[in-house]
C-alpha cells in the first residue's frame, strides 16, 4: 500500500511520518530508500507499507 504523508520528526531510529489519509496517525520510526535526499520535518513523502504501519519505507519526497 502506498500512502502520502508528512515528516513529523527525525530520530536516530528513523523518520516518523504523519498520515493525513489515516486521521493523522504517526508511524513508528521508518527507514528511507537510499535515493531519497535529506528529509526535514514538514517534507511531503510517499511511504510504501507492507504488512502494517510499522513495516514501511519512505520511497519518495515530493
Provide mean pLDDT across the span 33-57.
Answer: 97
Mean pLDDT of all residues in 56-62:
97
pLDDT at position 53: 92
Strand pairing category for 56-61 and 31-32: parallel
- Multiple choice CATH, 2-61, 3.60.130.10, 3.40.50.970, 2.40.50.140, 3.40.640.10: 2.40.50.140
Q: Give the angle 58-60-62 at the CA atoms, nearest 5°.
A: 130
Task: Tell me the C-alpha distance between 1 and 56, whole Å.
Answer: 9
The pLDDT of residue 46 is 98
Return d(Cα 54, Cα 62) in angstroms, integer: 22
* Contact partners, residue 10, CB within 8 Å, separation at least 6: 16, 39, 40, 41
The pLDDT-based confidence of 54 (bands split at 50, 70, 90) is very high
pLDDT bucket at 45, cuts 50 / 70 / 90: very high
| 19-31: average pLDDT | 97
Amino acid at each position: 500500500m502506498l500512502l502520502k504523508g508528512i515528516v513529523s520528526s527525525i530520530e536516530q531510529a528513523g523518520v516518523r511520518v504523519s498520515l493525513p489519509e489515516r486521521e493523522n496517525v504517526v508511524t513508528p520510526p521508518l527507514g528511507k530508500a537510499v535515493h531519497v535526499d535529506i528529509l526535514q520535518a514538514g517534507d511531503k513523502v510517499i511511504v510504501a507499507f507492507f504488512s502494517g504501519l510499522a513495516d514501511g519505507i519512505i520511497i519518495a519526497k515530493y
